Structure 1
Amino acid sequence: MSGERLATLVTGVVYRHPGLLAKIVATLDVLSGGRAQLGIGASWYEREQRGLGVPVVPLGERFDRLEETLRICLQMWGEDNGPFHGEHYQLDETLCVPAPLTRPRPDILIGGDGERRTLRLVARYADACNLYAAGPEHVAHKLDVLRRHCDAEGRDYDTIRKTATYIEPIDDHDVFLAAAEQYANLGISLLDLTTIHDPAAAERAAELIPRAAPL
């Protein structure tokens, strides 16, 4: 895939019907010349769901819906246009026109680092993961768990891109860069910075790009 990917980090599984989500990503892929990526998670932010009037379902059901959604997207982006019959979603046809430009399909990134279900879904379905950068030891442990899931699924661990969301303040650039180097050494190839509620923090983060790029 050339250029930068276009994606959300991440959409909650309950926000869109999976058939429509697959078509949205496919259309974005066509319009962007093959740069779309599906970033998805199990919809952890219940305040947002309630605020927007999205029905809140139990956590276990959200993970069940997440796996069905991943299966539907893979089917719609593939050659099988037939029905999909799951526990939560029923599709008479999985036709996706226009089809994505990216071959064999747009990348899938799964956000979260739950050890029992999230990282297993990463090993089974995803091209990339996004962990919480809650310290190098935390990330190292989660990556070890992911590796074990990959072994169980017969998946090559090295084919999965590892990314993380940095959740600490970035006021001290030297502290951030030292942490970023540790994450890079663990195999993290991209750090997302949580500056959405602080425009000034976003500007400070932009100053870090030239220094962080070599990592």
Structure 2
Amino acid sequence: MAVKIGIWVPSYAWQPSTGEDQHRRVHRLKEYIQRCEQLGFDIWDIDHLLTAPGLYGNAWLEPLSVLTYASALTEQAMLGTGILVLPLRHPVLLAKEIATMAQLSNDRYIFGVGPGWDPKEFESVGTHISERGRRTDEIIAAVQELLSKESASFDGEFYSFHDVTIEPRPAELPQIWVSGGSRVPDPNFHDRDSMPTSVLNRIAKSDAWLSRCSGTQDRLLRDWRTVGDHLESLGKPRDSVRFAHCNFIQLSPGQTRERALEQQHEHAVRAFGTHRSYEHLQECYLLGDLDHQLGRLTELAEHGMDYVVLGPLTDDLEQLDMIAEHIRPALGD
């Protein structure tokens, strides 16, 4: 089965202390987006409002703004949020942003969503992490209502509006790709080493499951089996929801595993911080030698994955060329 490749563009909000010139970074981001288009890769952007100690060493630029910028630089690439943390946003404003994105991109937007995980982000916008799942479900339903009806109304636990019209509305609703899954247990956060029924129900209503990279390969495959079992319990085919995956990667072709990990270490620490051990990062992300990286990706493809979002840890255009040269042929894209 051929696996389509998307790219997490490196819209890192690097700290000023790095000494990098802001205008040069933006110029490189522009070149990066244009190279994705030239190579036939879809374009995705990650979402973290704040610097997120525990998983990352930095924040990212606001994703819908980045994808709107990307839409002006491209004509063919699909544009996805992977993932948009829904509980941080209000559904009416979000629906307007999506409608605008759809108009400017000629309906190329993929609505990739998830509930988020960082308690501080929720606190900073006046909500609480304990509400994230219920808010996520309400926002999905409310946005669908707003984008499909001329006069939309909604009454929920958190959001209510009446006779609201969003214009221009897209010709059709963007596909919804839902994230969620097991994570290596961490006593400092609310994620679990299992998939709650509420998450499985959300996935079952979506077009694709966009599996995360914050667990191990074994957990990921176990989660996909759980998703399939849940779909069957609802009377749906196991393949009624697409299996997609997102993961960070850094390529060092021609290097031994030891040498590749040595080369990739500084990039990993810059992106992920020092909160987790390098051994832990290797479990979660596609680090190491090329054979190891291809082995993990082809194993997922053998289990039904037909779309992968890869996120290079630098904005070096050579990483995109290497993905095209080494990864794409192996996945049949």
Tell me: CA distance 1:31–1:188, structure 2 relative to 1, closer, same or farther (3 Å).
Answer: same
The structure 2 residue matched to 1:71, chosen from 141, 154, 159, is 141
1:151-206: CA deviation from partner (whole Å, max 9, x where unpaired) = 3444443232211122424341111011111011111122333445x446x85465
Q: Which secondary structure does the structure 2 equivalent of 1:92 belong to?
A: strand
Deviates more, 1:176-185 or 1:130-139: 130-139
For structure 2, the 5+ residue unaligned runs are 1-74, 183-194, 248-283
2:306 pairs with 1:174: no
Deviates more, 1:131-140 or 1:9-18: 131-140
Tell me: CA distance 1:58–1:75, structure 2 relative to 1, closer, same or farther (3 Å).
Answer: same
* Structure 1 residues 67-106: aligned runs within 5 Å: 67-79=137-149, 81-101=151-171, 103=172, 105-106=173-174
Deviation at 1:55, TM superposition (A): 2.7
Q: TM-score, normalised by structure 2?
A: 0.56
- In structure 2, the partner of 1:210 is 325
For structure 1, the 5+ residue unaligned runs are none
1:115-156: CA deviation from partner (whole Å, max 9, x where unpaired) = 1122220102x1111113444432221112112222344444
2:242 pairs with 1:127: no
Tell me: CA distance 1:49–1:57, structure 2 relative to 1, closer, same or farther (3 Å).
Answer: closer
Q: Which secondary structure does the structure 2 equivalent of 1:7 belong to?
A: strand
Which one has a bigger Cα radius of gyration? 2
The whole-number CA distance in structure 1 between the counterparts of 2:95 and 2:236 is: 24
- Between the two structures, name the one with larger relative contact order (CA 8 Å, sep ≥ 6): 2
Two-structure CA RMSD over aligned residues (Å): 2.4
Could you tell me which amino acid in structure 1 is paired with residue 211 of structure 2? L
Could you tell me which amino acid in structure 1 is paired with residue 326 of structure 2? R
- In structure 2, the partner of 1:118 is 199
Could you tell me which amino acid in structure 2 is paired with residue 178 of structure 1? G
Could you tell me which amino acid in structure 2 is paired with residue 75 of structure 1? E
- In structure 1, the partner of 2:126 is 55
Deviates more, 1:83-92 or 1:145-154: 145-154
Could you tell me which amino acid in structure 1 is paired with residue 114 of structure 2? G
The whole-number CA distance in structure 2 between the counterparts of 1:113 and 1:175 is: 23
How many residues matched? Answer: 206
Aligned-residue identity in percent: 24
The structure 1 residue matched to 2:300, chosen from 178, 183, 186, is 183
